[in-house]
Amino acid sequence: MRSLSLPVILTTASLSGSALAAGGAEKAPESAQAIYDKAVAAMERKEYAIACPSLEDVVRRVPEGIGAKLTLAQCYEEQGRLATAYAAYLVAETASLEAKQIERQKKARTRADALRPRLAKLTLFVSEVMRTVKGFQIQCDGAPLDPMQWSVPLPIDRGIHLVTATAPGKKRWEKTIDVRADGASESLTVDTLEDAPPEPEAVKEKPAPSRPLGLARTAGIIAGAGGVLVLGIGTALGVVAINKKGDSDLHCNALDRCDSEGLDLRAAGRTAGTASTVMFILGGAAIAGGVTLFVLGSRSSDAKAAAVVGPGGLAVKGRF
């Protein structure tokens, strides 16, 4: 079951940073280049289940490699994961712009524009009653959705997806949705959750004595929570960027010449898109650091756990 693919929710959302120059393969780790070459060969054989995860590994190893980001987006597209591919192209476009690689920027933008009309959309509506329930949470394929994502058409890959809703003292609500075609428009509404039956006294277990979390694990929880909040902001900005781009098309002709309002809309869309990418980089780093701190905090001292936390990232085709 594929995860919900939003323009900014991707493992590839951390594909950002300055690019390695063309022909600069000597700057990339040899092991990453070898993985990349095997992934490209797998793509040529249409073995996308092998190629795409390998390219994701390359992007993690060489986050500055713009060529790898483009190849990864192409792999997603050929695999039929259009929403994921669309998001990856937007990330590659932003990275190319920052690196002043104009040709790659144009290529990423052209491929993203070609995919946009074909994207399937899923809109999740939440009733006013449930919006007021403390602790209410809605998820798609296990990924929690920020309230800012409710009632917003979200790009999604084809396939079967599981939507769940939970709240303290309520029964779990779940629905499966099968997105069968590109360009489809699907929606679900969470009206109310039934009350959960009281837990029988006989089955209640004596709670285990609690133990302190420790400094490292506490810091990990705080960092992870902050990262989720930043990702939510990045999602909202990504939706704004897409909407601004779509609105600007109404003010531009076939030669891509726009009136003043169209130019303003495109400028606002680019600003929101860049800000969205930055939010996802920061949010992803915070979550990764938080998980590392929490896991290591359970195995070693706080000082040791804090010392090993470092930055991470992701990577794309040809020579990096």
Q: Which residues contact 149 (CB under 8 A, 6 or more apart)?
A: 6, 124, 232, 235, 236, 239
Whether residue 111 sits in one domain with residue 21: yes
CA distance 273 to 13: 12
Whether residue 111 sits in one domain with residue 23: yes
What is residue 153's three-state secondary structure?
coil
CA distance 179 to 124: 14
What is residue 179's three-state secondary structure?
strand
Q: How many domains does the chain have?
A: 3
Whether residue 261 sits in one domain with residue 222: yes
The domain of 257 spans 215-307
Whether residue 109 sits in one domain with residue 17: yes
Query: Last residue of some domain: 118, 139, 172?
Result: 118
CA distance 117 to 254: 16
Tokens standing for residue 123: 């809109």
* pTM greater than the 0.95 cutoff: no
Query: Last residue of some domain: 100, 118, 136?
Result: 118
Task: State residue 89's pLDDT score.
Answer: 96
pLDDT in tens, the chain (320 residues): 443 444 444 333 334 333 333 333 344 445 899 999 999 999 999 999 999 999 999 999 999 999 999 999 999 999 999 999 999 999 999 999 999 999 999 999 999 999 999 999 999 999 998 898 999 999 999 989 999 999 899 999 999 999 999 999 889 999 998 898 888 888 999 988 888 888 777 666 666 665 555 565 566 566 566 666 656 676 766 666 677 667 766 766 666 677 777 677 667 767 766 766 766 676 566 566 655 655 555 554 444 433 333 333 333 334 44
Q: Around 31, how many Cα atoms within 13 Å sit in the side-chain half-sphere?
A: 3
Kindly state whether residue 4 falls inside one of the protein's structural domains: no
Task: State residue 218's pLDDT score.
Answer: 61
Whether residue 59 sits in one domain with residue 157: no
**CATH at 132:** 2.60.40.1120
Whether residue 186 sits in one domain with residue 105: no
Whether residue 128 sits in one domain with residue 95: no
Whether residue 130 sits in one domain with residue 106: no
Kindly state whether residue 125 falls inside one of the protein's structural domains: yes
**CATH at 104:** 1.25.40.10
Asked if residue 82 lies in contact with residue 159, where contact means CB atoms within 8 angstroms, the answer is no
Residue 19: which of 91, 114, 111 has the closest Cα? 91
Kindly state whether residue 291 falls inside one of the protein's structural domains: yes
CA distance 289 to 310: 7
Query: Last residue of some domain: 118, 133, 161?
Result: 118
Whether residue 86 sits in one domain with residue 24: yes
Whether residue 66 sits in one domain with residue 107: yes
Asked if residue 182 lies in contact with residue 82, where contact means CB atoms within 8 angstroms, the answer is yes
Task: State residue 285's pLDDT score.
Answer: 65
Whether residue 157 sits in one domain with residue 100: no
The amino acid occupying position 307 is A
